């Protein structure tokens, strides 16, 4: 069974809370990491409007192909089949991560413009059976070129970003 067959779109209420916390505005540039088939990428595209843009990364080839097909009518969306954990990531106003990581990655933080927001599921490195356990969603805002503020948004449990569940930030 391919890994993508075990992935679901998550809890819609949790994503509604997360998208509200991210506070995407019309005209903004958003990066979506872990786009899956494009369900939440569609919502991000609608929030940014026709003057904004969404760049979606999906590491699973079959999911990236489905996302590109599903989002073909959104001219403000680009889907890329590649990891969103490797740089460079284009400069943007917001990053929405749909898979767990043990820390925010430098490539994510570096991509944020001033007042840019990063929302990601913070997961523990070691959970039951080697899988990540319950964690929480964190919202990080770049308040200066060298300063970030963080706010806890909600408890959550997410699948890990491929290759990141135990990767540490330098």
pLDDT at 8: 47
Type and span of the H or E element at 40: helix 39-48
Q: Which residue has the tokens 């943007």?
A: 92
| Cβ(122)–Cβ(96) below 8 Å | no
Gyration radius of the chain's alpha carbons: 15
Q: Which of 104, 105, 98 is nearest to 15 (CA)?
A: 98
d(CA 60, CA 131): 19
pLDDT, one tens digit for every residue, the chain (170 residues): 344 444 445 567 787 899 999 999 999 999 999 999 999 999 999 999 999 999 999 999 999 999 999 999 999 999 999 999 988 999 999 999 988 888 899 999 999 999 999 999 888 766 555 555 678 899 999 999 999 999 999 867 655 565 554 444 43
pLDDT at 113: 97
d(CA 118, CA 104): 8
CA dihedral 136, 81, 43, 23 (to 10 degrees): 50
Q: Which of 49, 32, 23 is nearest to 116 (CA)?
A: 23
pLDDT at 64: 97
pLDDT at 123: 81
d(CA 48, CA 37): 19
pLDDT at 170: 39
């Amino acid at each position: 069974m391919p890994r993508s067959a075990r992935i679901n779109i998550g809890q819609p209420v949790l994503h509604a809370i997360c998208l509200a916390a991210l506070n995407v505005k019309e005209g903004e540039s958003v990066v979506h990491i872990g786009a899956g088939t494009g369900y939440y990428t569609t919502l991000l595209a609608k929030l940014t409007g026709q003057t904004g843009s969404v760049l979606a990364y999906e590491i699973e080839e079959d999911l990236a192909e489905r996302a590109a097909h599903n989002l073909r009518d959104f001219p403000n969306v680009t889907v890329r089949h590649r990891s969103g954990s490797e740089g460079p990531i284009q400069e943007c106003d917001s990053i929405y991560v749909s898979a767990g990581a043990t820390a925010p990655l430098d490539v994510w933080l570096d991509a944020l413009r001033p007042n840019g927001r990063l929302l990601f599921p913070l997961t523990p490195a070691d959970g039951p059976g080697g899988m990540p356990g319950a964690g929480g969603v964190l919202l990080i805002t770049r308040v200066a070129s060298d300063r970030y503020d963080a706010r806890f948004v909600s408890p959550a449990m997410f699948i890990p970003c491929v290759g990141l569940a135990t990767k540490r930030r330098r």
